[in-house]
Amino acid sequence: MRRRLLALSLSLAANSALANEGMWMPSQLPDIARQLRQAGFQGKPGELAGLARPPMNAVVKVGGGTGAFVSGDGLVLTNHHVAFGVVQYNSKPGRDLIQDGYIAADRMAELPANPDYRVLVTTGFDKVTDRILADARGKQGKAYYDAVDAATKAVVAECELDVGYRCSVANMYYGTDFYLVKQLELRDIRLVYAPPNDIGNYGGEVDNFMWPRHTGDFTLLRAYVGRDGKPADHSPDNIPYVPPAHLQVSTRNVKEGDYAMLAGYPGVTFRHRMASEFANQVGWQLPSRVALFDGMIRTIETASADDEDARVRYASQVRSFKNSLKRAQGELDGLRRSDAVAVRREDENAMYGWLERQSDAAAIRADIAAAQAVLDRGVAMRERDQLLGAINGQAQLLRSAITLQRLAHERAKPDAQRESGFQQRDEVLITGQLKQVQRRYSPVVEKALLAHLVAQYQVLPADQHVPEYDALFGTTREQLTARLDALYAGTGLGGEANRLQAMQADAATLGASSDPLLQAAKTLLPAILRLDGESKASAGELLRLRPAYMRALIGFRESQGRAVYPDANSTLRVSYGRIQSMDPRDGIHYTPLTTVQGIVEKHTGVEPFIAPAPLLDAIAKGDFGTTAEPSLKTQTVNFLTNLDTTGGNSGSPVLDAKGRLIGLNFDSNWEAVSASWMFDPRYKRAIHVDMRYMRWLMAKVYPAPHLLREMGLPAE
Amino acid sequence: MRRRLLALSLSLAANSALANEGMWMPSQLPDIARQLRQAGFQGKPGELAGLARPPMNAVVKVGGGTGAFVSGDGLVLTNHHVAFGVVQYNSKPGRDLIQDGYIAADRMAELPANPDYRVLVTTGFDKVTDRILADARGKQGKAYYDAVDAATKAVVAECELDVGYRCSVANMYYGTDFYLVKQLELRDIRLVYAPPNDIGNYGGEVDNFMWPRHTGDFTLLRAYVGRDGKPADHSPDNIPYVPPAHLQVSTRNVKEGDYAMLAGYPGVTFRHRMASEFANQVGWQLPSRVALFDGMIRTIETASADDEDARVRYASQVRSFKNSLKRAQGELDGLRRSDAVAVRREDENAMYGWLERQSDAAAIRADIAAAQAVLDRGVAMRERDQLLGAINGQAQLLRSAITLQRLAHERAKPDAQRESGFQQRDEVLITGQLKQVQRRYSPVVEKALLAHLVAQYQVLPADQHVPEYDALFGTTREQLTARLDALYAGTGLGGEANRLQAMQADAATLGASSDPLLQAAKTLLPAILRLDGESKASAGELLRLRPAYMRALIGFRESQGRAVYPDANSTLRVSYGRIQSMDPRDGIHYTPLTTVQGIVEKHTGVEPFIAPAPLLDAIAKGDFGTTAEPSLKTQTVNFLTNLDTTGGNSGSPVLDAKGRLIGLNFDSNWEAVSASWMFDPRYKRAIHVDMRYMRWLMAKVYPAPHLLREMGLPAE
């Protein structure tokens, strides 16, 4: 069986590259112009390449996701869940915009977002590889890492001299190329139109990751600037931002097989990781992550079984563990279903075969071997690293103590040289965390959790042991129990005032504290700093060595007539494909378009399935007009494409063959949770709001004819 | 919306009668010959009418379900779950036939079933309406009931003078007609071939009621008779029974749209109940049943929260409550989805419209009105009846006390006149129940459960109160608590020996017992007997009056050119239709054939999804030969039809247009759980084992070439 499945996977994986796998940099699109046209694109691929020209300059970063300008007056379309904070910020007792939704009757009624909410318009994307690597060349390990870090900071600082812009350096192909990304930072964002939460988040957590879906996950915002046209903090005097371009919402119908493309800011993927990393991910990381979370959940649940108060305190952490466990299990199931390790290994072997025939094979092979050696060292310490991560990070009070000692340590340096996360600007966040502990901590449960984790650490082979941890916790179960009892019996860090006071102390004062948990953190800190340095040294080596692997991969793909997109890194990318159904399991076929009938079917009157009465009435009335899908004789809601997306693509505009806006990306299907590692065309789908549903809601259910007109759409 | 859904339902309901709704008596099939042929049947409908001729005389009652002879040597094909008790009976430490399955290498190796296991061959089906009703005519209420009961017993006793036969009287069209069913009772049944449980019950409770399905739910038995050819107890000297006919397993392919028909013994349906009964079922019975079970579950869970031992004792009862709740909720959801009350009401109104134009309208209307009055009296007491049913039946120890007092009361009569369930032959069962209490009882939980139930009874309106219950439990919450405390503090019935000893006592001794629970049961007994009598009086009245309603319905249907099948009553019925896919919800399409790929997809290695290694290996090998479905290029497993089934149809043979055996019915889909009340063609499906899967398993995976040859099938 294994052989047959493998052959199947390989043939599908090979096909996928010819089909629609890929998160392309816009600049690459002219290189794949033939494929784009074959897929059905009717525009000029060259026009997609320019970040500063339409349509790409209409695509913006919004909150933690993506959005697009949809009018010449700065109207931004994004997901309800991407703009949720803005809706929440404007809700208060007596005005529940989450529940009721919001329609600004005119510009005066548009509500300011929380002050830290941003819309970023990308205006520059320039290769700066030479500047970033100039000092690094010839160096190794941590020195290489530090040189890249310093050059990056310098380039960013120089770029940000241009007031109103935010700059960053994007690493493409794992250290092969570096790009300076320059973005106009719009700071006065306002809420214009949000549907009720029971539409914008219909199905809630239950339907999250699910298809068929029936969610109106969209919201309209507007970006404002100062009267000089430049980014400004919120002011009633500000005027709407005039974007360089905007997208036109389509008034056409869409159907299965239609061409579709999407632009956005996908966060992170691992598609071009080495085969050994796939094997480690599937063979160890994911299963052991499942076991780790499962063990922590059981430990907390057992320790709090008879303590209602403790159960409440740990409810949020347990829920987060359960989500993490579910995600890890889903990713594992998906990668196994796709036989990802074997597929990647086979592909890599073919690449090595090709490499043998190249002139620079020896040098590349040497670098790859050196990179593999770095990865192997990581594998040799993976159990330790996973457990120490949980020990340092998941016990609320111990984590507070470590944070306090680390902060005191970092404060001794100039702010710019402090470790990221411990700089001056991070102190508000740290204060918040230290306060939060009060509601999330019980000494009995924390001791049980640490006992569970450290006991696993204690039985690791000797070469994975760290002297400071052994010294603190002892090396036997008995010592561990006694030490934990002593730590938690004696500490005063359980008191919020004590924690906040300790945050003000310098390293010497904290070092001299007799509090046993602060002493414990002092014991661990040298180990934490040392392991941190080792980790940066590894990162530096991989930054230096991985480009050889990428060079080989790109050359090999070129020999196959295929281009290589860089793994996702939160920069603007384009994916193309089509509206496509899916066969998730034997006997089940998912149609690619859902209809309002599904809203009625799911409606139970119980969260998360409470369709608002105006919506149910409008569906019953059946007055869908021009927004109905003729072939189905009813109103569509969501549709499914085979586009290549990942986290960060929320709110990405979905365009048709002529660049018209037909959908708004908002989720993936559960079967695709493993797509961050491997794109399997059988199972990878993206879920979008059909723009016809948005138009119908805005025309007939919660009407906003003025906004439809602003977008150049029929107002009823 | 309501109006549109209603119109939809009505049009679908009207279509259904033209399509495939109906559990027809074989004798009715010539009447619907045209529809049968239109649906694709290629045989002569008249040949299906004879119970004593092929193919109907090959269809038999097996255990609690249906089966069919598939060879001339008495081989019987039925479901694995119908024959499960036989497999279990033959399992013992070191020989786990449930897990391993079983293949009898030859006749000597065929294993005897448990001695009470039966195969019943129907040999007679004769109308005895006149005899059954002769004495009843002119009577009313309980007298009518008793007359029918007495005539039934007499007819059955006379029929059973023919040794080796079991006889029963079937009530058709709710008292309109009575048939004497005579069945040859085969008592020596042996296990011939069973797949491993992980095939026969693949998916277990998780997949129960689910589609897509991947279960090999079949088993082969063989019926034996004495050397004289007559039914006999098991003996090594017995010989295979030669059935009057057997079905031929098909070697053809099947596909969506193909004609299919099924014969079997469906248990009970309510399709022809009055519209007011539909309204009561949807408006009150099902919702309040959900609430009742939910309340009992919560009460038991709360009362046993801190008592691990009590949780274990009540685990089985709670599980059963949860199943009942799920079923009731599923039925309720389905009837609402189908808008069953409105559809039935609309249809009934049309019938009344037609009735007005008939000459005997007045007499029929009077009887229907009288029946409605009986139903109305039941509705008036429904809260009381539901609560008293739970109070008497769901508290283990109180139920034991009531059983003991009732048994003593009944024992004073001649055995034949004792209430059914309290006759001599029932005493073994009662003893078992009294013993079981030991493992299922905790006084704290039982008191909490009774307090919860009786408190609801206490607040019922005065006209629903029963003096004996008021006397026992008091009329206030305080009295109730005190009485329950006293009952359970003082009773000795918690001891198994005491219960078994009380079972031997006569009414006088028990009546004099000072045990407070026995005293309580003595207090309640007169009420129980009185309510029992009232219930029989109502049943008698309905038996007398419902035929008027049925006459109107049959006449009305005749005017529409349609025949009426009687509601199911465990007699032989035939349904016809076709292999059909299903769209369960917006966006989802179920294909009508599943394949072995789904077995691999579902396989987790954890119950209930542990596909046996030989099966996985055979699937991987892909050697499907002639049993593969050409259009899918793989092996099918189960298929879906729109046939009309209900509980009791398990093991029903599914035949093609020429009467060849293509499938074995084993389940329905979850959406069809409400079909006992209303057949909705959008959602009603039946789930079958594809005979090609059975043939493949028997040829290639767990080979039994000798059995394939016996069935006239290719042996590899």
Give tens-digit pLDDT for B495-527: 999 999 999 999 999 999 999 999 999 999 999
Residue pair A668/A638 in contact (Cβ under 8 Å)? The answer is no
Residues of A with a Cβ under 8 Å from any B Cβ are 1-4, 211-214, 337, 585-591, 593-595, 597-598, 600-601, 616-617, 619-620, 622
Inter-chain residue contact B4 with A616, CB threshold 8 Å: no
Which residues of chain A are in CATH 2.40.10.10 domains?
2-50+253-270+571-710
Residue A166's region, left for phi above 0, alpha for psi from -120 to 50, else beta, is beta
Q: Write the pLDDT tens digit of every residue in B453-475.
A: 999 999 999 999 999 999 999 99
- A243: its two tokens: 């974007």
Q: How far is B163 from chain A (nearest CA, A)?
A: 50
In whole angstroms, give the CA distance from residue B91 to residue A448: 45
* For residues A528-535, average pLDDT: 97
- Measured CA to CA, the distance from residue B274 to residue B545 in angstroms comes to 12
Phi, psi of A499 (to 5 degrees): -65, -45
Q: Which residues of A touch B633 (CB under 8 A)?
A: none
Provide the shortest C-alpha distance from residue B614 to chain A (in Å): 12
The catalytic position among B9, B73, B81, B207 is B81
Contact residues, chain B, for A585 at CB < 8 Å: 212, 598, 601
The answer to whether the beta carbons of residues A247 and A653 sit under 8 Å apart is yes
Q: Which of A369-375's residues contact partners 24+ apart within 8 Å by CB, and which partners?
A: A370/A541, A370/A545, A371/A274, A371/A541, A371/A542, A371/A545, A371/A546, A371/A548, A371/A549, A372/A274, A372/A276, A374/A538, A374/A541, A374/A542, A374/A545, A375/A274, A375/A276, A375/A277, A375/A280, A375/A542
How many residues does the structure list for chain B? 716
pLDDT value of residue A416: 82
- Decide which of 3.40.50.300, 2.170.150.20, 2.40.10.10, 2.60.40.1190 is the CATH code for B2-50+253-270+571-710: 2.40.10.10
Distance from CA of A606 to the nearest CA of B (A): 14
Tens-digit pLDDT profile for residues A104-152: 999 999 999 999 999 999 999 999 999 999 999 999 999 999 999 999 9
Quick: pLDDT tens for A227-277.
999 999 999 999 999 999 999 999 999 999 999 999 999 999 999 999 999
Give tens-digit pLDDT for B30-42: 999 999 999 999 9
From B3, B588, B620, residue closest to A212, measured CB to CB: B588
Distance CA B84, CA B701 (A): 21
For the stretch B579-636, pLDDT in tens is: 999 999 999 999 999 999 999 999 999 999 999 999 999 999 999 989 999 999 999 9
pLDDT bin (cut points 50, 70, 90) of residue B438 is: confident
Distance to chain A for B37, nearest Cα, Å: 30
Select from A212, A589, A593 the Cβ nearest to the Cβ of B585: A212
pLDDT digits (tens, 9 = 90+) for B517-560: 999 999 999 999 999 999 999 999 999 999 999 999 999 999 99
**Residue in B588, B594, B620 nearest the CB of A1:** B620
Contact A16, A631 (CB under 8 A): no
Residue A624 with chain B: CB contacts under 8 Å: none
Q: Check residue A19 and give its pLDDT.
A: 56
**Distance of alpha carbon A278 from the chain centroid:** 20
Contact B601 A617 (CB under 8 A): no
Q: Which two tokens stand for residue B635?
A: 């092996």
Distance from CA of B445 to the nearest CA of A (A): 20
What does DSSP assign to residue B92? B
CA–CA separation, B19 vs B257, rounded Å? 13
pLDDT band at B19 (very low <50, low <70, confident <90, very high): low
Q: To 10 degrees, the CA torsion angle through B245, B249, B255, B259? A: 0
Q: What percentage of chain A reaches a pLDDT higher than 90? A: 90
Of B2, B590, B600, the CB nearest to A588: B590
Nearest CA in chain A to B634: A586
Judge whether residue B405 has pLDDT over 50. yes
CA distance A698 to A240: 21
Give the three-state DSSP class for B16: helix
Nearest CA in chain B to A619: B1
| Contacting residues of A for B617, CB less than 8 Å apart | 1
- Contact residues, chain B, for A617 at CB < 8 Å: 1
Task: Tell if the CB–CB gap between B587 and A211 is shorter than 8 Å.
Answer: yes
Rounded average pLDDT over A288-315? 94
**Interface contact flag, A589 B585, Cβ < 8 Å:** no
Residue B8 has pLDDT above 60, yes or no: no
The predicted structure's pLDDT at residue A660: 97
Of B591, B600, B622, the CB nearest to A587: B591
Nearest-neighbour CA in chain B from A701: distance (Å): 15
Q: What is the mean pLDDT of chain A?
A: 94
The band of B15, judged by pLDDT with boundaries at 50, 70 and 90, is very low
Indicate the average pLDDT of chain B: 94
Chain B residues contacting A, CB < 8 Å? Answer: 1-4, 211-214, 585-591, 593-595, 597-598, 600-601, 616-617, 619-622
Which residue, among B207, B586, B680, would best test binding to A if mutated, counting the most A CBs under 10 Å from its CB?
A: B586
| Bridge partner residues of B59 (DSSP) | B68
Per residue in B48-61, pLDDT (tens digit) is 998 888 899 999 99
> Do B563 and B28 form a contact (C-beta atoms < 8 A)?
yes
Task: Find chain B residues with C-beta within 8 A of A588's C-beta.
Answer: 212, 588-591
Among the options B276, B442, B538, B650, which is catalytic?
Answer: B650
Closest residue by Cα to residue B560 from B14, B31, B4, B92: B14
> Rounded to an integer, what distance in angstroms lies between the CA atom of residue A579 and that of residue B558?
50
CB contact at 8 A, A616 and A659: no
Q: Give the DSSP per-residue string, B600-648.
A: HHH--SBTTB---HHHHHHHHHT--GGGSBTTTTB-EEEEEE-----TT
Catalogue the active-site residues of A: 81, 217, 650
* Residues of A with Cβ-Cβ distance to B591 under 8 angstroms: 587-589
Nearest residue in B to A634, CA atom: B586
pLDDT tens for B634-675 read 999 999 999 999 999 999 999 999 999 999 999 999 999 999
